[in-house]
């Protein structure tokens, strides 16, 4: 990889513009989950230790180029200050005057970059205005790297640029999982719709040895094979696409693992009466809500021979018991193998992280990506503008 890290830069006495992702959940003006804030602390501390002055660039929500008071980053400052153990200077309005007064030891957070209409247009003028505030640019927001915005792409061409600790950590983990993985390689892909993951599936069948398909997507594949899926969530207009993916996998020697048995119910609610049936025997009045136990066992056997695993999406309707069983069991299998040093496991995506946390498996995975859309686009084989701009 051609990108530089903090260790390649002379930061002493420099104003360091750091693109971070602190787009965290907020209720009543208070941050309710500090995970993304906690993960940028090492980068900020290392810049300070090297004599640099961190000036943080970030977005919050979607103000669409207008000043929206309830989307101000000012409400993030208390949680950020607590995470860093020091006061953070919040700068809105005229950036320049305030930035010039910062001294070594200080940390500043600039107002929501998306308040400026130029940000999401990757406007060169806004990028130059931001670049004028610093000497060095650091991107520590992999989760925003799939966006070509002024603070993620254009600015990286205007200043000496490098990856922050979190960005470097993400890129190393992803390279290890899909760029140059130990094989055999398995991918688990779940979620509701094939239509949102066509590019992902098309890319993975060319790169992985085993592809597990679960969730609502699996229903579409079962329908493509001619199975009646009853009232299950399925995209019947995507069955031709599903058959194309199956044919491509067969052509390149990728084993696709679809459910052989499924868990069905007549209603989708906690504790609903359910039964396990063969995948080709879903009752007409029932819904497929989870992968069945025999299929999970089959996934486990395939996984036991694998050295690398990429995971994106749950295997069933994991939010509600008992339809979280397959996801929980498969996740724990992966966690146990990882803990035993037999598997490199990398996961990402909002539902994925929630599912792995619910399964109490996340802590034992090799790496959990902080990104959603960027992780998905990376898995699709797409170039991420925020990474490409760093020279990677």
Residue 144, pLDDT score = 95
Domain assignment present for residue 325? The answer is yes
- Asked whether residue 258 falls in the same domain as residue 121, the answer is no
Please give the annotated binding residues for (2R)-3-phosphoglycerate, written as ranges.
Answer: 36, 114, 147
Please give the annotated binding residues, written as ranges.
Answer: 21-23, 36, 59-62, 114, 147, 197, 319, 349-352
Domain assignment present for residue 45? The answer is yes
Token reading at 60: 């919050």
- Asked whether residue 228 falls in the same domain as residue 336, the answer is yes
Q: Structurally, how many domains does the chain consist of? A: 2
Domain assignment present for residue 137? The answer is yes
- Asked whether residue 29 falls in the same domain as residue 103, the answer is yes
In the block, residue with structure tokens 């992702």: 21
Token reading at 75: 């409400």
Angle between helices 35-49 and 165-174 (to 10 degrees): 120
CA angle 32, 34, 38 (to 5 degrees): 175
SS (H, E, C) the chain: CCCCEHHHCCCCCCEEEEECCCCCCEECCEECCCHHHHHHHHHHHHHHHCCCEEEEECCCCCCCCCCCHHHCHHHHHHHHHHHHCCCCEEECCCHHHHHCCCCCCCCEEECCHHHCCCCCCCCHHHHHHHHCCCCEEEECCHHHCCCCCCCCCHHHHCCCEEECHHHHHHHHHHHHHHHCCCCCEEEEECCCCCCCCHHHHHHHCCCCCEEEECHHHHHHHHHHCCCCCCCCCCCHHHHHHHHHHHHHHHHHCCEEECCCEEEEECCCCCCCCEEEEECCCCCCCCEEEEECHHHHHHHHHHHCCCCEEEEECCCCCCCCCCCCHHHHHHHHHHHHHHHCCCCEEEECCHHHHHHHHHCCCHHHCCEECCCCHHHHHHHCCCCCHHHHCCCC
- Contacts (Cβ under 8 Å, ≥6 apart) of 8: 162
Please give the annotated binding residues for substrate, written as ranges.
Answer: 21-23, 36, 59-62, 114, 147
Residue 107, pLDDT score = 98
- Asked whether residue 150 falls in the same domain as residue 189, the answer is no
- Asked whether residue 48 falls in the same domain as residue 99, the answer is yes
Residue 370, pLDDT score = 75
- Contacts (Cβ under 8 Å, ≥6 apart) of 70: none
Domain assignment present for residue 259? The answer is yes
Residue 392, pLDDT score = 55
Residue 2, pLDDT score = 74
- Asked whether residue 207 falls in the same domain as residue 318, the answer is yes
Which active-site residues does the annotation give?
36, 193, 350, 373
Domain assignment present for residue 387? The answer is no
What CATH number corresponds to the domain at position 304? 3.40.50.1260
Boundary (domain end) residue, out of 133, 166, 199: 166
Boundary (domain end) residue, out of 166, 191, 210: 166
The residue count of the chain comes to 392
Shortest CA distance to 245 belongs to which of 188, 194, 288, 315?
A: 194
- Asked whether residue 113 falls in the same domain as residue 86, the answer is yes
On whether the CB atoms of residues 246 and 202 are closer than 8 A, the answer is no
Domain assignment present for residue 326? The answer is yes
- Asked whether residue 271 falls in the same domain as residue 194, the answer is yes
- Asked whether residue 110 falls in the same domain as residue 229, the answer is no
Does the pTM exceed 0.75?
yes
Domain assignment present for residue 171? The answer is no
Chain-centroid distance of CA 126 in Å reads 27
Rounded Cα gap, residues 79 and 64, in angstroms: 25
Could you list the residue range(s) of the whole structural domain that residue 267 is in?
181-379
Domain assignment present for residue 38? The answer is yes
Residue 216, pLDDT score = 95
Residue 267, pLDDT score = 95
- Asked whether residue 220 falls in the same domain as residue 365, the answer is yes
What averages of pLDDT result for each successive group of 10 residues across the chain (392 residues)?
90 98 93 94 98 98 96 97 98 83 96 97 97 97 96 98 96 90 96 90 95 97 97 96 97 98 96 96 98 98 98 95 96 98 93 91 93 87 93 70
Rounded Cα gap, residues 151 and 147, in angstroms: 10
Rounded Cα gap, residues 326 and 320, in angstroms: 12
Boundary (domain end) residue, out of 102, 136, 166: 166
Burial class of residue 49, CB neighbours in 10 A (0-12, 13-18, 19+): exposed
- Asked whether residue 107 falls in the same domain as residue 211, the answer is no
Q: Please state whether the peptide bond connecting residue 190 to the residue before it is cis, i.e. omega within 30 degrees of 0.
A: no
- Asked whether residue 107 falls in the same domain as residue 215, the answer is no
Chain-centroid distance of CA 39 in Å reads 14
SS (H, E, C) 14-79: CEEEEECCCCCCEECCEECCCHHHHHHHHHHHHHHHCCCEEEEECCCCCCCCCCCHHHCHHHHHHH
On whether the CB atoms of residues 99 and 46 are closer than 8 A, the answer is no
């Amino acid at each position: 990889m051609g990108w530089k890290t903090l260790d390649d830069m002379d930061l002493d006495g420099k104003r360091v513009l750091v693109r971070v992702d602190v787009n965290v959940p907020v209720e009543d003006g208070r941050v309710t989950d500090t995970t993304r804030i906690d993960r940028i602390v090492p980068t900020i501390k290392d810049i300070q230790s090297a004599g640099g002055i961190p000036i943080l660039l970030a977005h919050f929500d979607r103000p669409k180029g207008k000043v929206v008071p309830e989307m101000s980053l000012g409400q993030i400052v208390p949680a950020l200050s607590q995470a860093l153990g020091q006061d953070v200077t919040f700068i809105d309005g005229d950036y320049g005057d305030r930035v010039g007064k910062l001294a070594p030891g200080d940390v500043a957070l600039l107002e929501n970059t998306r308040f400026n209409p130029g940000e999401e247009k990757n406007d060169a003028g806004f990028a130059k205005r931001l670049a004028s505030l610093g000497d060095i640019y650091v991107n520590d927001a992999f989760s925003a790297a799939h966006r070509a915005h002024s603070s993620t792409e254009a600015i990286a061409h205007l200043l000496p640029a490098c990856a922050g600790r979190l960005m470097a950590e993400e890129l190393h983990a992803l390279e290890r999982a899909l760029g140059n993985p130990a094989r055999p390689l398995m991918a688990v892909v779940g979620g509701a719709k094939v239509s949102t993951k066509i590019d992902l599936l098309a890319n993975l069948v060319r790169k992985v040895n085993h592809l597990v398909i679960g969730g609502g997507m699996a229903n579409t594949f079962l329908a493509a094979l001619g199975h009646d899926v009853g009232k299950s969530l399925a995209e019947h207009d995507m069955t031709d696409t599903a058959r194309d993916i199956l044919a491509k996998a067969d052509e390149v020697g990728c084993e696709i693992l679809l459910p052989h048995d499924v868990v069905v119910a007549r209603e989708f609610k906690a504790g609903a009466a359910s039964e396990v049936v063969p995948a080709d025997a879903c009752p007409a009045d029932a819904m497929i809500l989870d992968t069945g136990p025999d299929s999970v066992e089959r996934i486990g056997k395939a996984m036991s021979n694998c050295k690398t695993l990429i995971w994106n999406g749950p295997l069933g309707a994991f939010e509600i018991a008992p339809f979280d069983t397959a996801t929980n069991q498969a996740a724990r299998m992966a966690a146990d193998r990882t803990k035993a040093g037999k598997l490199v496991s990398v996961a990402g995506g909002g539902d994925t992280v929630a599912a792995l946390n619910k399964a109490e498996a996340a802590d034992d995975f090799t790496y959990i990506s902080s990104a959603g859309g960027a992780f998905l686009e990376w898995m699709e084989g797409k170039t991420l503008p925020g990474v490409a701009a760093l020279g990677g």
